Amino acid sequence: MKILLINSPTPNSAIVRNMAGGLGFDGSSGIILPPLELMYYAAVLIQQGHTVRLIDAGVEDYSTPGIITFTKEFQPDFVIATA
């Protein structure tokens, strides 16, 4: 099964993704950590034999139209996205 994981774009805001609620981090745009929850999902799905792709829109600078184009080309059976 083909599964697409999307960390949605968040225009005009710095996001601290440290799984610790921002404790000890200043939230500046210089701190960019991966979307760990999606990476955990990807690891489990890959271990189960699925084909997985991950879009981290904040890091890869994907726009909404770019995400739609990627999705159409990949043709996933399921999409899991952050909101």
Look up the pTM and report it: 0.74
Which burial class, exposed, middle or buried, applies to 31 when counting CB atoms under 10 A from its CB (0-12, 13-18, 19+)? middle
Bridge partners (DSSP) of residue 4 are 53, 79
* Average pLDDT of span 24-52: 80
Residue 22 · residue 1 · CB < 8 Å:
no
39-69 tens-digit pLDDT: 999 999 999 999 999 998 877 778 888 889 9
Q: Is the pLDDT of residue 75 over 90?
A: yes
Q: How confident is the model at residue 30 (pLDDT cuts 50, 70, 90)?
A: low
The chain-wide mean pLDDT, for the chain, equals 80
